[in-house]
Structures are given as structure tokens and as C-alpha cells.
């Protein structure tokens, strides 16, 4: 079995917080968006990476993911 990607699901009480970090700051692009849904979510992509953002206060309170993004920049 060979893995090709790891796609984390990241939960926020307010999805706009995640969008500010990943889109505005880290320059990810929104590949799929359901921001107007009852429970908003979107798929963010950049350089072959993918992150799923969800708005869910209950999961955001319980789940505090930590991951590291490595770049070639110093």
C-alpha cells in the first residue's frame, strides 16, 4: 500500500477564521466551496496540498489539530 496524500479535516467555530489563515495569509485557493450551507465547509488547495475546512463549533472545541507545513523558503 502506497499513500499519496494526507488530507486533514480542520474544524473552526467560525470558518472565516480558517479562511483568513489559509487563503489570505498562506495563499491557498478555494477548490470547492459550500460556505452558504447549514454547516459550511470548503476544500483548500495549494502546490498539491489539500485541506478540508469545516465550520462546526462542537468539533472545533474537541479537536485541535497540529500539523506542520514545510517550504523551501527560509
pLDDT tens profile 24-74: 999 999 999 999 999 999 999 999 999 999 999 999 999 888 888 888 876
For residue 1, being part of any structural domain is answered with: no
For residue 37, being part of any structural domain is answered with: yes
Nearest CA-CA partner of 40 in 25, 53, 26: 53
Q: Provide the domain limits for residue 24.
A: 9-62
Q: Whole-model pTM? A: 0.86
For residue 31, being part of any structural domain is answered with: yes
C-alpha dihedral sign at 22, 24, 25, 31? positive
In the chain, how many domains are there?
Answer: 1
Amino acid at each position: 500500500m502506497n499513500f499519496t496524500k494526507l488530507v486533514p479535516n480542520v474544524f473552526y467555530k467560525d470558518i472565516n477564521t480558517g479562511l483568513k489563515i489559509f487563503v489570505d495569509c498562506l495563499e491557498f485557493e478555494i477548490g470547492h466551496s459550500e460556505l452558504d450551507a447549514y454547516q459550511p465547509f470548503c476544500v483548500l488547495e495549494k502546490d498539491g496540498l489539500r485541506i478540508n475546512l469545516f465550520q462546526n463549533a462542537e468539533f472545533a472545541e474537541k479537536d485541535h489539530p497540529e500539523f506542520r507545513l514545510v517550504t523551501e523558503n527560509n
